[in-house]
Amino acid sequence: MASKIRIVAITEFLTNVKRKEFIILTFLLPLILVMSMVIPVFFMQTISHEKETLGVVDETGIVLPILKERYTDYVIEEIVNADEARRLLDNNSISSYIIIPRDFLKIGRASYYSKVQLSSFSSANMNLERILSDIIIESLLEDKGVSKETINKVKNPITMERITVTKKGDEIETPFSFVGNYLLPLFLFMSIMNAGGYLLNGIIEEKENKVVEVLLSTISPTELLSGKIVGLGGLGILQVGIWITGVVIITSFLKIPLVSLEKGILIMILFILGYLFYSSIFAMIGSISTSTRDSQQISALVSFIVFIPLLLFFGIVQNPNMTFIRLLGMIPPFIPTIMIMRILLSEVSLIDIIISMIILSLSVIISAKAASKIFKIGILMHGQKPSFNEVLRWVRG
């Protein structure tokens, strides 16, 4: 039995590792994800405001010289009045303009005009507001006889260091850790879904071209399914290994601390258990589906459910140990992703880790047994899709 499982596992591994989809996902997708974060920042800081002109109607006679000195997001152009500014905006001679009224330093109110919707939420506009706020603060404090040194301290009162205290009492500065804390669960999720997708598509293809009937003449359904899961699990581990190697190289270059060995082991255990659980689910979907299109509709729903924890990432970052997150991390479809994020973000209590591992392990056993029973019958069915009650009878039988 072991030899047959090994043969199927090796065949599945070698067949899928050569797929163009696997190579693209493994090497190009991480690069695309990183670039999708870097390019918008670069675009916002440089390209989006290149050669744009901000008109300034300064009725105070004080603000404009300071803006020219400090504000670099736009080219500053002095305009004599509001009517002239509107004319230039209508003619596209300037991209936007701001009117600073005579009593601006007292009431702190100015008006910004632009043809672009939501332009006031851009980083350039926020910088403009910050500089104008600084000008008012400086003016008010100078009127009270406060020194420039004190004014500068008021504008920049603190410098905050982000330091994580580990269980061993070590203090680790983590300025970029939130990026890794999001990307690692995302990469693991993609790897699990990728391997599960290969399993699902493989089962459907073998059902449609009747290859499975030939295979089952020499190997049992349980051996066939086990070999597929083991082989594609190895594919997932290879993919994660490549990604982790890349992460190690990048973090070493940027001098960003990696997770501890203990956390790394826990994450890999959760990854393996998560893969076994999800692969069983995908095996069930493939066994009861009659076509690739039919299976994709069901698997898309499963993928969305599994992706939910990643949508909650910024809430989890705020408080990874809140009661709601802890309870959500005890529900089988969410356990791998939620617990990985919690382990990366904080020191998770031992009881939470043990309970989640037990629940996930039991879920793997139950789902694997159910998948095996459904696979034995469903893999040979063609044409009409079985009803929910029929599937339940297969599982009970």
Using the 8-state DSSP alphabet, how is residue 76 labeled? Answer: E
Residue with tokens 């004190």: 150
Using the 8-state DSSP alphabet, how is residue 46 labeled? Answer: T
Using the 8-state DSSP alphabet, how is residue 226 labeled? Answer: H
Do 111 and 125 form a contact (C-beta atoms < 8 A)? no
Residue 108, Ramachandran bin (φ over 0: left; ψ between -120 and 50: alpha; else beta):
left
> Which CATH fold topology does 50-157 show?
D-Maltodextrin-Binding Protein; domain 2 (3.40.190)
- Per-residue confidence (pLDDT) for residue 115, from 0 to 100: 81
Distance CA 135, CA 34 (A): 37
- Sequence spans of domains, the chain: 2-31+175-396, 50-157
Q: Is the CA virtual torsion 41, 46, 47, 50 positive or negative?
A: positive
- Per-residue confidence (pLDDT) for residue 86, from 0 to 100: 92
Distance CA 93, CA 99 (A): 17
CA angle 283, 289, 292 (to 5 degrees): 95
- Per-residue confidence (pLDDT) for residue 1, from 0 to 100: 57
Mean pLDDT per segment of 10 residues, for the chain of length 397 residues? 78 82 77 68 56 86 88 87 91 89 88 75 77 85 79 72 59 53 72 79 75 74 82 82 75 65 83 86 80 72 79 79 88 88 83 93 90 79 73 77
- Per-residue confidence (pLDDT) for residue 23, from 0 to 100: 81
Kindly report the pTM of this predicted structure.
0.66
Burial of 97 (0-12, 13-18, 19+ CB in 10 A): buried
Task: Determine the straight-line distance between the first and last CA of the chain, rounded to whole angstroms.
Answer: 23
